Structures are given as structure tokens and as C-alpha cells.
Amino acid sequence: MSERKIGVYVCHCGGNISDYVDVEKVIDAVKGEEDVVVARTAMFTCSDATQQEIYDDIQQMGLDGLVVASCSPKLHTFTFRGVAKRAGLNPFRYTQVNVREQCSWAHTDDRLGATEKAIRLVRAGVARTRLLAPLEPTVVETVPKTLVIGAGIAGLRAAIGLSDIGLSVVVVEREAAVGGWVKEFGPLFPHEKEGRALIAQLEAEVRRRENIALFTQAEVVKKAGSFGNYVVDIRTHGKSSMTMQMEVGSIIVATGFDSYQPEEGEYGYGIDGVVTLPEYKKMLDEATGPLVYRGRPVKDVAYIYCVGSRQGEAGPHQYCSRFCCSAAVHSALELHGKDPSAHQYHLYRDMRTYGRYELMYQESREKGSLYLKFPESEPPAVQKGSDGRLLVTVRDQLTSQKEMQIPADLVVLVTGMVPRENDDLVKALKLPVGRDGFFNEIHPKLRPVETVVDGVAICGACQFPKTASESVASGLAAVTQSAAMLKQGRAELDPQVATADPELCTDCGTCYTTCPYDAISPMELPGGRRVASIAPATCKGCGGCAPLCPEHAIDLQGYTSAQILAMIDGLAREVV
């Protein structure tokens, strides 16, 4: 084996590590390891001073391998890759060893054991580093064009945002008209702007822009390629049915939601006068004064909350739909404005008018809305009264659990949002779907619009129930995310991906079907022999294929079988 020059740096992390791990002992144990030419401790390895020290060591001693034993690779992988790169060392010849989260913090009761474990972990890191080959990132040229799927309020606003930044946009909408749910709505909270007016304005703007192409009655049926160069098939259904193919750099999914449709008999649904929230909102928006339903004045309205949400054992919708409390209270305010003498009863499980919407809740109480809390185990019952009106029976937990009956002219079932049926799109894009049926982001707070599919972002209510303004905000976040990736014109992808050795491959086909990203396909060699070929830009380096290959032809760069075996040897060796 060729001689290597490896530098090892073990961090105190102030005391986070050194309080439980004897870092000097770790240094002593690895100093004599083969190929280790320098081993030091540092109070904070990530500090500028220590980064400079590592930089100097690389330059002066000509290090060709770097091991940093400190915190989780989540925190500082890019810090130390940067140090290596600046000093002229290939950044993929560096190994991060986690001796904080996975050692000192986990074994605060056992200093001796923690120290021994740290020694083993660092030895494994050295063993891997010894075998690391220099790698270069895969560079892909990106197409400056984004596909937006869904032309609701989030998709339309995202299209305009992308166009503003100078990217071409293709908007694909399944329906004949753009605007989704919001095009039907009158005043929306919190700004009281009319939904229809907002959509009209956005649509006019989208149609005016030369760098936005809008296709209605169209669907995305296929996606191929990889980040920066997706090739998508779009099928139109209108007067002329045809399939177009185009290249886009990134994709924003804004396919929206469906409203929960109560079953016949659920809270009296089906009885004349029992309506869902969207049906009620439509009636309200159309009314110019006091509400009239089927020729009869509406004087008493009862709202039943959480219909189709937080169903527990009773149904598939376990989640709180978030927006509906505020939306129902906002509708109640709309009615208070149109008919101050109307009586409004709100039958709820928990009121969640989050943030500033609390002010609407307060205003509705001041205007006379009454709130009754019913127990989850005993939901209200709706029946037709003898006088032809509706009668809602409810047990009010705020009035000594008394059971009471509310005569009502209209019962509004405050229905939540449910995921829209989009099976074909999910299949075409390989979108990650959560347990609740909505699309999943990578991290709800840290990476809120990105998905595990590179270059595919999600926004609006296809992700989780959102208000119109929240949908627009997430749409713009997706714009920023897409633009940041595409405006550079090129992207560097992680080279730590799988490769298949054509000498060993027998074209057995096991890996073709195993890859969750469709990165592996057969390729014909000049001699006519077929072998597996792995597209580096599509491969995510998950390693799923490597252990399945019966010929051991597949290796994950940076985590080759030889490297992993060497690490196991390092871990298993006696400490002294």
C-alpha cells in the first residue's frame, strides 16, 4: 500500500467532548497509526484559528488525508471540506468522525468507555481516509426554465415570481380555467381582498408575460432526466389532444387540495339546510344583505367544527386542517356584517384561530357569535325539527355539560382540506407522499419547500392545509429555491454516488428494478455485451443497489466495500 500522509484533529468542543472523552488519550492511541503524520487536539476545531492550523499543516506537510473528530457531519462537513479545498487537498479525502452526538453526549456516565469508543471511531475514520480516492463533483448545466404544475393562487403567483427573476416558465393546469378554489371566493382573510379579483389580476399578468407559457386542460404524464435537465411529457386534453415534450431545469408542484366531502348522514349532511363550508362561503359571497336559503330567511346559523378533521379511529383524516377555524370565524364575521341580527352558534372541539386570527375570534364574540364546546365522545346531532327548521342537539362543556337544542335555519359543517387524488402525477414525478396523503417536504422548518427529488419543490395546499396567503408565501419560497439553483446555469452534484464495474457486471438486472430513482439502466458495450450503467446526476448515493449486486460490481464512491471493511477492522481492534 502506498504511503499516505494523514492529519487527525480531535476536538474538545469546549468541554462537550473533553468532559467525557479523554481527548489526549485518543491522540496518543492514533498517533502511531499507519500513515498518520500529525495528530492534535483543539479547543474548537471549527474556529478560524484551528481551521488555519489545519490549512497550514496540509500545505507544509503535504497532507493527502484529513480526519476531524468532533461533532455530527450534519454540522461541519462543508466547513472542513472547505478548509481542505482552500489548502489544495481534495475535499473528498476528508472524513468527519462524530465523537460528540454519538459518543461523549451518549456516554456521559462512562468516561473510560467513551474514551475507548472514541479511539475506535477515530481509528475507523483513519482507516477509511487511507483508502479515499480524490473525487470531483458532477457538474451539470441547468436549463433556465421551470415547470409549474397547478395554476391555483400559489402556482400563478410562483409563475410570476419566476418570470420576474428572468426564468422561463411553463404552467400546466388540469382544469379548463385557472385559479383553483380561490377563483370562486369573495373576501378572504386577513386582507379582505376578493379571491376572484386576485385570480383575475394574476391570470391577466400571467397571460401578459412573454416568458410564461400557460397550458390549461393539460397534465404532466412523464418525467425523465435529472435535476437541471428534466424532460417532461405534457398531454393536453382540450379541443386537440396532443403530447408535448419539453426540457425544464426544475419543477414546482402546486396542485392544491380537495375539500372534505361529508358522507350522507354525517352530522345530518343530506338534510336540506346542512351545508359544507365552501358551499356556505359561496352563499355568503353571493348575498348582498341578510342570507336567504331556498326562499327562507336565515336567522339562526349553527357551525359544527372539525368535520372530516382529527377523526381519530373513525376515519382516515387524523390531522387538524388548520385553516378551517379561522375560515369559519371569518365567514361568521361576513354574516355579522350582512345581517347584524342573525344568531350564530359555533360548536367546536378546540378553537385554533392561530396568530393574529385570534383577533377575528374576539371580534366575532363581540358581535354576538356564541361558542359551545362539545366533547369528542359526544358530537352534536342534527335533525329536522317539527316546524321544518333544523334542530341541533349538543352537550356544552362550558355550561356544566348541559345538553341543549339549537333551532337553526342553516347548519354549516366546517369541513377541512383533504389531499387531492393525484396518483398519476405522484407516479410520474416520484413525489414523496406523507401518511396524511399530502406531499412531504424534506424538513418542515429547515427545508420547507424542497422534496427529496432534487429540483422538485412543493408549495401551496398540496403540502398541508394552508390559507391562500400562506400558499402564496410558500409559492414564493419555492420560486427562490428554484431560482437559486437555476440562475447559476450550472450545478455541482455530490460525486459520492454508485458506480458499476463493467468488467464484473453480468447484466443480471437486479439493480435496475431496485433503484428508487431510476438511475440504473442497461448499456451496451462496444463488444455488444450489456452491462449496468449508473447515471451520476440521477443517483442519490443511497447505496441500496450495492449490497444486492451478486457480483460485487457496484461500489459507492467514498463508501466502497474496501473502505467499509477497513472501518470495521478499525472499530473491532483491541483498544490497547
What minimum distance in Å lies between the beta carbon of 298 and other proteins?
13
* CA torsion, ordered 139, 140, 146, 150, to nearest 10 deg: -90
Which of 49, 133, 314, 404 contacts other proteins by CB under 8 A? 404
Q: Which is nearer to other proteins, 120 or 346 (CB)?
A: 346
Residues paired with residue 66 on neighbouring β-strands, in sequence order: 7, 94
The region of 117-125, 247-255, 403-411, 549-557 touching other proteins under the rule CB under 8 A is 403-411
Binding characters for other proteins, 38-77, by CB under 8 A (x = yes):
----------------------------------------
- Residue ranges of the alpha helices (H) in 62-110? 73-87
Instruction: Collapse the DSSP code of 447 into the 3-class scheme (helix H, G, I; strand E, B; otherwise coil) and give the result.
Output: strand
d(CA 423, CA 440): 15
Applying the rule CB under 8 A, the residues between 254 and 273 that interact with other proteins are none
What minimum distance in Å lies between the beta carbon of 261 and other proteins?
29
What minimum distance in Å lies between the beta carbon of 233 and other proteins?
55
Q: Which is nearer to other proteins, 222 or 365 (CB)?
A: 365
Binding characters for other proteins, 460-479, by CB under 8 A (x = yes):
--------------------
What minimum distance in Å lies between the beta carbon of 297 and other proteins?
14
Q: Which is nearer to other proteins, 100 or 336 (CB)?
A: 336
What minimum distance in Å lies between the beta carbon of 347 and other proteins?
12
- Under the binding rule (CB under 8 A), the answer on residue 300 touching other proteins is yes
- Under the binding rule (CB under 8 A), the answer on residue 372 touching other proteins is yes
Please check whether residue 67 is in contact with residue 91, taking contact to mean a CB–CB distance below 8 angstroms. no
What minimum distance in Å lies between the beta carbon of 388 and other proteins?
15
Q: Dihedral of CA 255/259/260/262: which sign?
A: negative
What minimum distance in Å lies between the beta carbon of 497 and other proteins?
57
- For 279, phi then psi, to 5°, come to -65, -40
What minimum distance in Å lies between the beta carbon of 384 and other proteins?
15
Q: Which is nearer to other proteins, 235 or 373 (CB)?
A: 373
Please check whether residue 499 is in contact with residue 293, taking contact to mean a CB–CB distance below 8 angstroms. no
Among candidate residues 277, 566, 320, 555, the one with its CA nearest the CA of residue 436: 320
Q: How far is it between the farthest Cα atoms of the chain?
A: 96
What minimum distance in Å lies between the beta carbon of 386 and other proteins?
12
- Under the binding rule (CB under 8 A), the answer on residue 398 touching other proteins is yes
Binding characters for other proteins, 352-371, by CB under 8 A (x = yes):
----------x--xxxx-xx
Which of 102, 217, 393, 506 contacts other proteins by CB under 8 A? 393
What minimum distance in Å lies between the beta carbon of 472 and other proteins?
31
Please check whether residue 508 is in contact with residue 189, taking contact to mean a CB–CB distance below 8 angstroms. no
* CA torsion, ordered 472, 475, 476, 481, to nearest 10 deg: 160
- Under the binding rule (CB under 8 A), the answer on residue 216 touching other proteins is no
Which of 5, 111, 282, 343 contacts other proteins by CB under 8 A? 343
Which of 2, 377, 400, 513 contacts other proteins by CB under 8 A? 400
The region of 28-36, 58-66, 229-237, 405-413 touching other proteins under the rule CB under 8 A is 405-413
Q: Which is nearer to other proteins, 14 or 340 (CB)?
A: 340
Residues paired with residue 417 on neighbouring β-strands, in sequence order: 259
Q: Which is nearer to other proteins, 27 or 372 (CB)?
A: 372
Strands 498-500 and 554-556: antiparallel
> 3-state secondary structure string, 41-72?
EECCCCCHHHHHHHHHHHHHHCCCEEEEEECC
Enclosing H/E stretch for 22? none
- Under the binding rule (CB under 8 A), the answer on residue 387 touching other proteins is no
Among candidate residues 105, 41, 52, 45, the one with its CA nearest the CA of residue 76: 45
User: Contacts with other proteins: how many residues (CB under 8 A)?
Assistant: 23
Provide the 10 A C-beta neighbour count for residue 29: 20
d(CA 115, CA 69): 12
Q: How far is CA 18 from CA 9, 108, 116, in A?
A: 13, 11, 13
- Under the binding rule (CB under 8 A), the answer on residue 407 touching other proteins is yes
What minimum distance in Å lies between the beta carbon of 380 and other proteins?
13
What minimum distance in Å lies between the beta carbon of 277 and other proteins?
22
Site of grid cell 408535448: 244
Among candidate residues 500, 502, 496, 503, the one with its CA nearest the CA of residue 548: 500
Which of 72, 243, 405, 488 contacts other proteins by CB under 8 A? 405
d(CA 179, CA 185): 10
Q: Which is nearer to other proteins, 404 or 525 (CB)?
A: 404
Q: Which is nearer to other proteins, 113 or 368 (CB)?
A: 368
Q: Over the range 380-408, which residues count as b (16 or more CB within 10 Å of their CB) and which as e?
A: bebeeeeeeebbbebbbeeeeeeeeebeb
Among candidate residues 223, 168, 227, 132, the one with its CA nearest the CA of residue 492: 227
Which of 29, 118, 178, 406 contacts other proteins by CB under 8 A? 406
Site of grid cell 378546540: 350
d(CA 473, CA 465): 13
The region of 64-72, 396-404, 445-453, 457-465 touching other proteins under the rule CB under 8 A is 396-404
What minimum distance in Å lies between the beta carbon of 366 and other proteins?
5
Chain positions contacting other proteins, by CB under 8 A: 300, 343, 345, 362, 365-368, 370-373, 393, 396, 398-400, 402-407
